[in-house]
A and B are shown apart, each in its own frame.
Chain A
């Protein structure tokens, strides 16, 4: 067991968990943040993407110990006071949501990109999302959403 201190969505968390738990398990099972999904458990699908210390990561690939003192952001942090973020809005407007299982991971990869690079090229958007698989949409509306979000950010 380890005593873990880290920050999730702006809140400091201190919990004692089994060493072998992954960040994904801690978020879902210990903290009830089930917006982060498990699609494969081995870094091959991106459904479990969260932002850790400013970078998008597969939360299934991070062991408890690696989260010590980290700053973690999950999809639950995007909507504020029931107002969707601009990025979520863009997903909504572009019909980028089908089954929804990849959506939260897609949002987190996109957010990590836009946080670092507010004006990405189409190629940079595709690259940022290449680790997030989607089987429903064929990616078209998702990529359009991110492009759209770029415009929304610029005109704020």
Chain B
């Protein structure tokens, strides 16, 4: 639990740590993407502006692709560049490069494309409300008993909508490709989460024209949050093609407004929940969930998001009769993709709202209602995976206690009687299964490598990237703390596909959980194998054995057996658990919710580095709260936001007091941390708003315009009942 300093901290503080745009290569030219401004249509003609010497430009389109025009993804259906027909706004049509970045920008902004427009679905509700738009594989988790619901049970049937969310990494997407014709190697410098995915992306588009793609990340990866999981594959492909064609190194850095508009976002969701609750025992007896995601124009990795979504859809409640159905829906918008939480935030946003709806109808305290229905040891998930620990309940108890929830509930009720503005307090819970779903980690078969040098320097080789989460510091720490090796004698190789083995992508809260624990085990294994007490001493007296290389693969715990066809079995070996209480102040004049304080209690198992973990959790909680409150991305009739003023991620002034605590940190195993802080906070805002005003809003985010329209509806209803 030591808070050792991050290995990249000092270079990040003095400005010497290099991010993608800080790299330059001799003769390098700049590239930019020309993308569709039409939602669906046939490309008729591309008009380039007059007054430019076209011979100075390098241009690539679908016709130039020597390999395949399909980006490798869990579902391979998205082309790198549109061929004749475009299926969404933002679809790449060409890559264009020129030595002068500014001139190129001007050239592209004055290029116009003529389309024959075809029908398109661009609105979230238009997409998700219409069953005809469903595509791809449907997932079901069937834990039904076949019994009819008791007529006395209280039936609730609600539909919840969750919005897009923009990752808003501060460093925009970027890529540099350097074609080395002599060796037929395409070297790519990437700001990305998954160097081996990028490698596949480049090799697919380049086909036989290259021998190999070598991917190395930039030193600094300026935030990712899932946004640099799959878009970089496409970007790297096109950048490589430009480098190949021009024979020069090519750098593409996306302009922020392009980045916001055309790259992957969190999937908007429509989640329909039906429950039947026994009014006597206050237990939810039966649940039926229809979980729908707007995938965008292509499926890409959406099926994986869908899988996690349905596996977290029931939230933390033990419901004897459950049926969950998950489907992807097609729209003419850019493919949605990975974002911290990966389907789970949508699930909790809906289910945690639904729980408050039931509690309110039963006139119950939302905490007590949750307590009655929460997972208990011996219960099971709808997949039949047994619940082995009651840590979720511990998180809830702790957060209720430390936030003074019960006392505040009463206080606010009193205060609200005499004030136009209102105060409110809300609860939410969440959890996140660590690592790839089901058999995923077996398939990945991650490998790590360690080299011990003659001077006892230990060099760790993994392909997992440090995009700010401190992974490289924590991974190294897990290795050297296991064998008491001095910290300064540990190095970590910058991920490079020709140097680091494939330890899998940096996603799914798996880096510390899978790779970190593997490194820890690895350290012990090396220690046993060599039989040392002190590595430095051993190396000193056995110099001829070094340098020496060691490799180890991840072996999945045998308890993880998952039926991918029927969604039965153990989906994740370990879960991180969390509970949250958020306090708000509602401004009646302006319909604005002000966050005042938010408490989160999480069980992420062993906390390897307290400072790093706390920092990540605080950031994730704010991201989660903002998802529920103010991050509004798409407006029907007006389209997508395109800058950081319109897309309102919080500033320092919007920050509430954030309190984060980790419990059960004496656990032997470090569990997933990356995603859990984002999963659960949003519904606590919505539930606090209900507590403050008595109004339920089943759509996120709770922007004041939405609140106003709900308030109007409530007033209208009230007027109608009065006149009746």
Contact = CB atoms under 8 A, between A and B. Distances in A.
Please tell me whether chains A and B touch each other in their complex, using a CB distance cut-off of 8 A: yes
A37 B171 contact: yes
A98 B615 contact: yes
Interface string B1-43: 0010110111011111111011000000000000000000000
Nearest to B619: A138
Contact of A99 (B14, B170, B612): B170
A20 interface: yes
B225 interface: yes
B618 A79 contact: no
B468 A136 contact: yes
**A-B pairs with lowest CB-CB distance, top 4:** A35-B15, A99-B468, A101-B222, A100-B12
Interface in B515-543: none
A76 B644 CA distance: 27
Contacts of A47: 170
Nearest to B3: A95
Nearest to A39: B170
Interface in B641-665: 643-645, 649, 651-653, 655, 658
B256 A100 contact: no
Given A41-B255, A138-B622, A141-B618, A101 B16 contact: no
A104 interface: yes
Interface of A: 20, 28, 33-42, 44-45, 47, 74-76, 78-79, 84, 88, 91-92, 94-104, 107, 125-127, 129-143
Nearest to B23: A34
Given A97-B9, A98-B468, A99-B171, A135 B623 contact: yes
A1 to B, nearest CB: 14
A45 B643 CA distance: 9
Chain A binding surface, main DSSP class? loop
Nearest to B609: A95
Nearest to A75: B15
B169 interface: yes
A133 B622 CA distance: 13
A130 B468 contact: no
A95 to B, nearest CB: 4
Interface of B: 3, 5-6, 8-10, 12-19, 21-22, 102, 167-172, 220-225, 255-256, 467-470, 611-612, 614-616, 618-623, 643-645, 649, 651-653, 655, 658
A139 B13 contact: no
A97 B13 contact: yes
B701 to A, nearest CB: 16
Contacts of B170: 37, 39, 45, 47, 99, 101-102, 133-136
Choose among A75, A97, A127 the residue with the greatest number of B CB atoms under 10 Å from its CB: A97
A12 B474 CA distance: 42
Contacts of B222: 37, 99-101
29 contacts: A37-B170, A39-B170, A39-B256, A42-B256, A45-B170, A75-B14, A76-B14, A88-B13, A92-B10, A95-B612, A97-B6, A97-B8, A97-B9, A98-B619, A99-B221, A99-B222, A100-B220, A100-B222, A103-B13, A104-B13, A125-B652, A127-B653, A130-B651, A131-B651, A134-B619, A135-B623, A138-B655, A138-B658, A139-B622
A44 B614 contact: no
A76 B170 CA distance: 20
Choose among B102, B168, B223 the residue with the greatest number of A CB atoms under 10 Å from its CB: B223
A104 B15 contact: yes
A33 B651 CA distance: 27
Contacts of B651: 130-131, 133
A92 B5 contact: yes
A2 to B, nearest CB: 16
A83 B256 CA distance: 34
Given A92-B10, A102-B170, A135-B223, 5 more contacts: A76-B15, A78-B14, A99-B468, A135-B168, A143-B655
Given A39-B256, A140-B618, A99 B655 contact: no
Given A75-B15, A98-B619, A100-B8, A139 B171 contact: no
